[in-house]
Amino acid sequence: MSVSSPSEAVEAVEAVHSGPGGEPVLTVDGLHITVAGGRAEAVRDVAFTVHAGEAVGVVGESGSGKTLTCRSLLGVLPPGCEVSAGSAVLAGDGGAVTELTALDRRQWERLRGAELGAVFQDPASYLNPALTVGRQLAEPLRVRLGMTRARARERAVELFASVGLREPAQVYHRYPHELSGGMLQRVLIAIAVACDPRLLVADEATTALDTVVQAEVLDLLARLRDERGLALLLVTHDLAVVAEVTDRVLVFYAGEIVEDGPTQDVVHRPAHPYTAALLRVASLGDWNRRELAVIPGRPPEAGQAPPGCRFADRCDFAEDRCRTAPIPLTRTPGGRRVRCVRAAELTPILTAPPEEVPA
Ligand SMILES: Nc1ncnc2c1ncn2[C@@H]1O[C@H](COP(=O)(O)OP(=O)(O)O)[C@@H](O)[C@H]1O
Ligand code: SF4
Ligand SMILES: [Mg+2]
């Protein structure tokens, strides 16, 4: 499925993914992440749930805290960064629950690749250049699932075929440097889903790929979600990707969720001025070169946020009351959450076509 405009993408999403997900797989609550050895807070009070079979998008400009949030859920925060408060609960089979913020290194290693799968932007850096990709997929099947060498090899070839790699038996014997970026991303997805994880976290997984390969990889993720009931957390700076694949979207700004709701609703009827600005930028000019369009101004750096609304300096609708105290994330009818004191009055204005919104 390829997308040529936001509304086309939304119609495609509505056609393919109609129902909500199943039981909660990941429940994040009050998550705070500090950087620079605790000197600055980069993620503040993040809370959301991902259900089985549900794809949740995380969108926002660079530096908004998407990757740190993701990495905290995978136990791979960079040095100097840590979860300073909050909880992230992963529900396992048979009602078992795991508090991710309390795991030690050995527990993380057991969980990653088993219940949690991850796919990142640069697949080459996650693969061992000295081993064939087949061996890198067969190894976890032997170690984690106890398969024989022959069965693991057979299953690896099946998995390579299932992620759309042509001639999978030949691919098995290739080294990472012998494969293209799109093929490597498929290999990484095969490894990520090999042990049937409940949650797949994909952070800018398609950003480095060309448009056609990107669309194929997104289709693959959506198919795995549908076939396996996988919960998918899809992080991207690209609203077109979110509109194409996700059921629900979390909009991040300066380390906070500023809007959360069903993707079609948010894309058609943004309730936060930042979401509306992102949509406006995405629909301006050449859709294939949308990254060239920008929202004027810059988000505050971690630790430099103003006392009130973090978006106030870039917001066309800011008033004095926006700048005095932190703005709460408020529930609105229709399963939305919005962090804006003017959301109710602004939604009809923000929904208007771009030319009718004040510049
Ligand atoms: N390793 C790090 N050390 C210090 N600050 C970091 C580190 N990683 C990220 N940050 C800061 O945290 C904020 C969020 O970063 P990140 O989660 O990477 O954003 P995104 O993925 O949305 O682009 C940024 O302000 C960034 O400068
Ligand atoms: S709270 Fe005020 S400044 Fe912030 S987004 Fe809403 S209107 Fe704009
Ligand atoms: Mg990032």
pLDDT digits (tens, 9 = 90+) for 153-195: 999 999 999 888 999 999 999 999 999 999 999 999 999 989 8
Q: 3-state secondary structure string, 163-228?
A: CCCCCHHHHCCCCHHHCCHHHHHHHHHHHHHCCCCCEEEEECCCCCCCHHHHHHHHHHHHHHHHHH
Q: Is residue 312 lining ligand 2, measured as CB closer than 6 Å?
A: yes
Cβ–Cβ < 8 Å for 186, 217:
yes
Q: Is residue 241 lining ligand 2, measured as CB closer than 6 Å?
A: no
Ordered structural domains, the chain, with CATH:
1-115+199-359 (3.40.50.300), 122-196 (no CATH)
Q: Which of 68, 73, 301 to mutate to test the pocket of ligand 1 (most atoms within 8 A of CB)?
A: 68
pLDDT digits (tens, 9 = 90+) for 80-99: 999 999 999 999 877 789 99
pLDDT category at 6 given cuts 50, 70, 90 is very low
Range 119-136 average pLDDT: 90
Distance CA 113, CA 126 (A): 13
Q: pLDDT at position 352, please? A: 61
Give the ranges where the chain is alpha helix by DSSP (H): 6-16, 66-74, 105-111, 133-145, 149-162, 168-171, 181-193, 211-228, 239-245, 263-268, 273-283, 343-351
Query: Is 128's pLDDT higher than 80?
Result: yes
pLDDT category at 9 given cuts 50, 70, 90 is very low
Query: Is 7's pLDDT higher than 60?
Result: no
pLDDT digits (tens, 9 = 90+) for 245-264: 899 999 999 999 999 999 99
Q: Which of 341, 345, 357 to mutate to test the pocket of ligand 2 (most atoms within 8 A of CB)?
A: 341
Range 33-61 average pLDDT: 96
Other Cβ atoms less than 10 A from the Cβ of 259: the count is 28
Q: pLDDT at position 284, please? A: 42
Q: Is residue 121 lining ligand 1, measured as CB closer than 6 Å?
A: no
Q: pLDDT at position 283, please? A: 67
b/e burial code for range 8-21 (CB count within 10 A of at least 16 → b): bbbebbeeebeeeb
Residue 211: C-alpha distances to residues 206, 217, 301 (Å)? 9, 10, 31
Q: Is residue 36 lining ligand 1, measured as CB closer than 6 Å?
A: yes
Q: pLDDT at position 353, please? A: 58
Q: Which of 340, 349, 357 to mutate to test the pocket of ligand 2 (most atoms within 8 A of CB)?
A: 340
Cβ–Cβ < 8 Å for 32, 45:
yes
Range 271-299 average pLDDT: 72
Query: Is 335's pLDDT higher than 60?
Result: yes
Residue 267: C-alpha distances to residues 88, 144, 276, 350 (Å)? 27, 41, 8, 11
Q: Which residue has the higher pLDDT, 282 or 302?
A: 302
Q: Residue 292: which residues within 8 A CB-CB, separation 6 or more?
A: 285, 286
Specify the ligand 1 atom closest to the Cα of 252. 22
Task: Report the mean per-residue pLDDT for the chain.
Answer: 87
Distance CA 200, CA 116 (A): 6
Query: Is 131's pLDDT higher than 70?
Result: yes
